[in-house]
Amino acid sequence: MSYQLTPWQWDGEVSEEELRRELRSQGLAPYTWHIGPGDHFSLHSRSYTRVIYAIRGSATFHFPETNEDVTLEPGDRIQIDARTQHAITAGEEGITCLEAAIRRR
């Protein structure tokens, strides 16, 4: 149970539509979510692997099993394995993300 962070490495602004197309090209069904400034999602996990792109704002993902905190900023991608415990704290502007589930068949 873990995560993988891929920082944004390209010039220019993040395009939600381009990222949505990228996820769809992988056979995934992306959706958008937002949490407000300073809001916090308590410790939780999912039964499936999640792929999340930050579109606007920032948030810190807390992984207590490894005692790591990872901050997502626009364009950054994080993949969180199924059953990985984590919490999320939004930055000063909140965060808007594009997320898709990777479900094993």
pLDDT in tens, 55-84: 999 999 999 999 999 999 999 999 999 999
Domain count, the chain: 1
Is residue 63 domain-resident?
yes
pTM: 0.92
Name 90's Cβ contacts closer than 8 Å, sequence gap at least 6. 35, 36, 37, 38, 39, 40, 57, 58, 59
Measured distance CA(80)–CA(49) in Å, rounded: 6
- Identify residue 48 by its one-letter amino acid code: Y
Query: The CATH number of the domain where 69 resides is what?
Result: 2.60.120.10
Distance CA(40)–CA(44), nearest Å, equals 11
Q: Is residue 13 part of a domain?
A: no
pLDDT over threshold 70, residue 1: no
Are residues 21 and 98 in contact, defined by beta-carbon separation less than 8 angstroms? no
Can you give the residue range of the structural domain that contains 52? Answer: 33-105
